[in-house]
Structure 1
Amino acid sequence: MPPADDEDAVKFCSTCAFSSACLSQGFDKSQLSELHVLVMHVGPFAPGEHIFREGDPFNAIAAVRAGTVKTYVVDSHGREQVQGFFLPGEVIGLNAIHAARYPANAIALDTVTLCRFSFPQMSLLATRLPGLQQHLFRLLSHDIGKASLLAGDFTADERMAAFLIALSRRYAARGYSGSHFNLTMARTDIANYLRLASETVSRVLRRFQDEGLLCIERREVQLLDRMRLEQMARVVLRD
């Protein structure tokens, strides 16, 4: 796999999951180059293709460059448990650092390309670039926070509102529309992630639409009454 070429240097800075660290710390050109040469552009992965599987050796983290990635595990009864969805600019593989093996499966939901970073090389670089090290810690903390997001005893409405608002914020943080976006994941995956029945997810979305909170057509969603959705989501998102 070839390293990222010079033509992509500007795109690297604008779309990379580590861009906020670079910008806030004011890394100079040589420091950016050191980080840039660690990047391997991987893909495309076709919808349904695995990026890694549970138990695979860990030696790299990857930022989603395009597309959506789902992570999941399969329990002892053969049932799939969705752990999360990763959008462009977000990092997969952080939870593999401790055990040095991926603790879940990652699969492409649509056409996915990745920016892959060798973790041993990035760790070495982070010892010389404190801003990068701090950003890695923030990414780890955020990943842990997402995992515990839905652990409480919340209603179906609260769970769905929190899912939509969190997704909206994540899109907006990457420069996409936070009010008009696609649900690239299937309803069954959303239900699995929220620990709800598929019929419940469909019913809640239908009621949200009837009440004028959103407009949904197939996978295209437009948030119409963000204030009410945020009020419902607040108990889950804790903000």
Structure 2
Amino acid sequence: MASSQAQPLDLRELKRVCSNCSLKELCVPMGLARAEVERLDKVVEKSKTLHGGDHLFRKGDAMRSIYAVRSGTFKSYAVNREGEEQVIGFHLPGELVGLDAIHPDYHQCSVVALDTASACVLPFQQLSELASNIPGLQRQIMRLLSKEISAMVPLAGDHSAEERMATFLQDLAKRLGERGYSATDIHLAMSRRDIANYLRLATETVSRVLKKFQNKGWIAVDRRHLRILDQQALGELAKDSLSEQD
């Protein structure tokens, strides 16, 4: 259980290392009195270190907390009736996970670490109770959750493999850049198979498209290390794909 693994997280540490985290709007809020900030600080916890293959939570687990990725990369997935895994998304440092359980009170997917990772934990009941007693905090929470949910729009429609891959790389670069990481020099924590599953492509197709982009001079790939060399070319292809969804 996440709560049994948790330790209090000092607010000063949050300010120092989590300046690009989604939870900074809650953990380092503006306009709250010192006593209110201290009360909020006591709610935020830090999970123990997880290793690749360790689960943060599993499908069917009761809703207890929402999480902000502190380090590493996580994958959310579900298993269909045929027993096949379907990748739902990848979650980078500073991003929230666990929002899927807010309405049904249980998790509708599983979230697993792809590498060494950790996450900050916000016990949802305590957070809700605190929000009801602190004016303005509930509004901050709703705005934060709304922003995260709106960012989880999957690539839909009839798009080519090249369009899907360009959109995936552009989205990954954008999210990393927003969190203070390099938007052009990227370590792919996820496997080619996971990327293919997420994009609803064959693994061989993902490898073929990456090689095609490399031959065009748009990217350079060395195993899981990827450098974006031509943002404009990828951006134009991704833009064409996204414009079809409007």
Q: 1:92 is aligned with what amino acid? A: V
**Residues 31, 179 of structure 1: CA spacing in aligned structure 2 closer, same or farther, 3 A cutoff?**
farther
1:169 aligns with 2:174: yes
Note the C-alpha offset of 1:28.
4.9
Residue 77 of structure 2 contacts residue 89 of structure 2 at CA under 8 Å; is this kept in 1?
yes
Identity of aligned residues (%): 41
2:190 counterpart of 1:185: yes
SS of equivalent residue, structure 2 residue 62: coil
Distance 2:29 2:233 in 1: 34
- 1:106 paired with 2:111, answer yes
Q: Which residue is 1:14 aligned to?
A: 19
Question: Can you list the C-alpha shifts for 1:165-209, whole angstroms capped at 9, x where unaligned?
Answer: 100010011111111111110000000000011011000000000
Distance 1:12 1:207 in 2: 38
- Output the amino acid matched with 1:48: G
Q: Which residue of structure 2 lines up, in the alignment, with residue 83 of structure 1?
A: 88
2:142 corresponding residue in structure 1? 136
Q: Which amino acid aligns with 2:107?
A: Y
- Change in 2 beyond 3 A, CA 1:94/1:6: closer
Note if 1:204 corresponds to 2:212: no
Structure 2 match to 1:225:
230
- Look up the equivalent residue of 2:154 and give its one-letter code: L
CA pair 112-30 structure 1, distance change in 2 beyond 3 A? same
Between the aligned partners of 2:91 and 2:26, the Cα distance in structure 1 is 19
Distance 1:69 1:102 in 2: 15
Unmatched segments (≥5 aa) in structure 2: 1-5
Q: Does 1:67 align with 2:39?
A: no
RMSD of the alignment, in Å?
A: 2.2
For structure 1, which segment, 72-81 or 130-139, has the greater mean C-alpha deviation from structure 2 after superposition? 130-139
- Contact 1:49-1:107 within 8 A present in 2 as well: yes
TM-score norm. by structure 2 comes to 0.88
Task: Give the 3 Å change call, closer, same or farther, for CA 126–92 of structure 1 in structure 2.
Answer: same
Counterparts in 2 of 1:224 and 1:125: CA distance versus 1, 3 Å: same
Shift in CA distance, 9/18, structure 1 to aligned 2, threshold 3 Å = closer
Letter in 2 for 1:162: T
For 2:239, which of 228, 234, 239 is the aligned residue?
234
Q: Is the 8 A contact 1:94 1:140 kept in 2?
A: no
Residue 32 (structure 1) aligns with: 37
Distance 1:167 1:173 in 2: 10
Q: Distance in 2 between matches of 1:36 and 1:73?
A: 33
Give ranges in structure 1 of 5+ residues lacking alignment: none
Q: Residues 81, 67 of structure 1: CA spacing in aligned structure 2 closer, same or farther, 3 A cutoff?
A: same
The one-letter code sitting in structure 2 at the alignment partner of 1:17 is: S
Which amino acid in 1 is paired with 2:68?
A
1:131-182 Cα shifts (integer Å, max 9, x gaps):
5534434434533552x42122111111101100100010011111111111
